[in-house]
Amino acid sequence: MVANFDGILYQRCLALFQTQIAVLKEASLIQKVAQTSVYEKQWTCFDDAIRSLNKLRTKLETLEAERLSLFHADKGSFYSYSLALPRKERDELSECYRALKMEAAKFRFAGAAFHSYLHEMSSVARSFLDAAFPGSRGNLYGKNGAVKDKDMRRIVLDKQF
């Protein structure tokens, strides 16, 4: 047992970790919606998912700043703080911290895999368009494209080629 056990700080840490885990799980679900939207070419849904992810990013940044402020110079790191806790609280807080790190890693890996998929699909589409329309190299237009090609020819991309 530690004589200077700070129960309030412990409760704040535990609540903060649990909140971060919940926000990361919500972000993971929204990330899956964004991925599905791209696969199904539901661009409005994709835009909504990206806006939601941006809001959650802001929330996560705020929570992370709060977490870092809990362990400033006079308290040391999370690990030094957790070592000073009684065993039961240390185990509970460490388990929650590990769960937070796992959720963050899963979110990061899913995002990296999706980014890789998007990059590959972009490369495939660009290669196809470069081969199919060599005179329009590098110019892509949506249905309401504003940029005009020098020779005024447009390539229109819709849900299908």
Q: What is the pLDDT of residue 82?
A: 83
Q: 3-class SS at 117?
A: helix
Q: What is the pLDDT of residue 136?
A: 63
Look up residue 16 and give its DSSP letter: H
Q: What is the pLDDT of residue 85?
A: 86
Determine the Cα–Cα distance for residues 58 and 48; give it in Å rounded to an integer.
16
Measured at the alpha carbon of residue 25, what is the angle toward residues 68 and 88, in degrees to the nearest 5? 60
Q: What is the pLDDT of residue 161?
A: 45
State yes or no: pLDDT of 129 exceeds 80.
Answer: no
* 118 vs 74, residue with greater confidence: 118
Closest CA to 17 of 99, 75, 83: 99
Helical (H) or strand (E) element with 76: none
State yes or no: pLDDT of 93 exceeds 80.
Answer: yes
Determine the Cα–Cα distance for residues 126 and 5; give it in Å rounded to an integer.
60
Q: Which of 38-47, 71-80, 144-153 has the highest mean pLDDT?
A: 38-47
